[in-house]
């Protein structure tokens, strides 16, 4: 059951949050070799209609059954365009200019939960919810400072 208070709107969208499961596809190894991400699968929902070029995007890594890979925010970047149906007509994807940071720069789930401004992130409240998730403008401002130090995520996101 979704409350209208929790429905994402352009007025409060800070960034999209795309999720990837570390137990599928060897994400850690993949990103160590090639940290740039040019597209990612998403599930069809009203949110895809809100996605547009230039909007900030965060990458959430999860699913490590062995627990040797930290759940949390692994990378950031921008959407290069709106969501689109995959070439084979199957699912949906978004074009990205996103870079996965080195593991020592990831923001762990524990750090996010412990932060008063971030403990209510949608991905923490509803970890099994569909992809994409989102963060509010307020949350994104805090994450920007944690991830980039100076908070200039918009200017730095493509260069990371």
> What are the residue boundaries of the structural domains of the chain, listed by start?
12-156
What is the CATH code for 12-156? Answer: 3.10.590.10
Q: Of the given ranges (43-47, 145-149, 152-156), which has the lowest mean pLDDT?
A: 152-156
Please give the torsion angle defined by the CA atoms of residues 4, 121, 16 and 43, in that order, rounded to the nearest 10 degrees.
-70
pLDDT tens-digit map of 3-22: 445 688 999 999 999 999 87
Residues 54-80 have a mean pLDDT of 87
Confirm whether pTM is higher than 0.85: yes
51: Cβ contacts below 8 Å, ≥ 6 apart: 16, 79, 82, 83, 94, 132
pLDDT tens-digit map of 110-152: 999 999 999 999 999 998 888 999 999 999 999 988 887 654 4
Cα separation, 136 vs 63, in Å, equals: 24
pLDDT given at position 149:
65
The pairing of strands 72-79 and 107-108 is antiparallel
pLDDT given at position 154:
40
Q: Confidence class of residue 24 from pLDDT cuts 50, 70 and 90? A: confident
Cα separation, 87 vs 98, in Å, equals: 21
The pairing of strands 56-62 and 13-21 is parallel
Cα separation, 73 vs 60, in Å, equals: 5
Contact call for residues 31 and 100 (beta carbons, < 8 A): yes
Q: Of the given ranges (5-9, 42-46, 97-101, 146-150), which has the lowest mean pLDDT?
A: 146-150
Largest CA distance in the chain: 43
What is the CA angle 38-144-153, rounded to 5?
A: 55
Q: What is the DSSP letter of 121?
A: -
Helix boundaries (H) for the chain: 27-33, 109-114, 122-125, 137-148, 153-156
Q: Which two tokens stand for residue 129?
A: 């919810």
pLDDT given at position 129:
85
The pairing of strands 84-85 and 92-100 is antiparallel
Q: Confidence class of residue 85 from pLDDT cuts 50, 70 and 90? A: very high
pLDDT given at position 84:
95
* For residue 78, pLDDT beyond 50: yes
DSSP helix/strand/coil, 113:
helix
């Amino acid at each position: 059951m979704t409350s209208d208070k929790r429905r994402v709107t352009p007025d409060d969208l800070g960034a999209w949050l795309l999720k990837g499961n570390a137990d599928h596809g060897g994400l850690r190894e993949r990103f160590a070799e090639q940290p740039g991400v040019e597209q990612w699968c998403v599930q069809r929902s009203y949110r895809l209609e809100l996605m547009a070029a230039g909007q900030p995007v965060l990458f959430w890594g999860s699913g490590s059954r062995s627990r040797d890979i930290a759940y949390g925010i692994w990378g950031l970047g921008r959407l290069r365009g709106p969501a689109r149906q995959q070439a084979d007509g199957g699912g949906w994807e978004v074009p990205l200019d996103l870079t996965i940071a080195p593991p020592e720069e990831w923001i762990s789930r524990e750090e996010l939960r412990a932060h008063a401004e971030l403990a209510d992130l949608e991905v923490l409240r509803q970890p099994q919810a569909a992809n994409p998730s989102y963060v509010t403008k307020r949350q994104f401002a805090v994450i920007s400072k944690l991830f980039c130090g100076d908070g200039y995520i918009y200017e730095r996101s493509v260069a990371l």
